[in-house]
Structure 1
């Protein structure tokens, strides 16, 4: 992926509007083969940090799904998503708890 596209994606993942963040997380999964190994790991790290701060359940689900898909590329290691341990599982719906637990277990 070209740098310009990558930076645009990162900006959208961090946008103030939940709809933009959700759409950007969904787009991450649509372009898995376009990322270099470094871009894939960087996106996973960014998405994990964003997930820790995310207040919107639907956006959090999209972020977690994107991380799972990025991990399937083989370029993302458990250390890249270790920030997820900061999420308070008891505050999440059961399905999202399972996402986080699966990601942390590798």
Structure 2
């Protein structure tokens, strides 16, 4: 992945518009084979931090799914997703709570 593409994806993950953020998280999963270990770990860390702040359930779910897919590359370690520890599980719907718990247990 070229630096220009990576920066564009990062900007979209952090966009003010929920639909752009959701689409960006979906794009992360579509391009798994394009990431170097550095790209994958950086995206996982960024998505984890973004998930902590995310108010839209559909975007949070997309973020968590993207993180799970990034972890499947073997490039992402638990430390990269440690921001997820900041999420208050009791405030999440049960399905999203399970997602976060599974990601932190891997």
TM-score bucket (shorter structure)? over 0.9
CA distance in 2, matches of 1:75, 1:57: 26
Q: Which residue of 1 aligns with 2:55?
A: 55
1:12-39: CA deviation from partner (whole Å, max 9, x where unpaired): 0000000000000000000000000000
Alignment RMSD: 0.3
Could you list the runs of 4 or more consecutive aligned residues of structure 1 that deviate by over 6 angstroms after TM superposition? none
Q: Which runs of 5+ in 1 are unaligned?
A: none
Q: Which runs of 5+ in 2 are unaligned?
A: none
- Aligned runs of 1:25-40 on 2, under 5 Å? 25-40=25-40
CA distance in 1, matches of 2:105, 2:82: 10
CA distance in 2, matches of 1:81, 1:34: 20
TM-score by length of 2: 1.00
Deviation at 1:64, TM superposition (A): 0.1
1:50-90: CA deviation from partner (whole Å, max 9, x where unpaired): 00000000000000000000000000000000010100000
CA distance in 1, matches of 2:38, 2:94: 32
Deviation at 1:2, TM superposition (A): 0.3
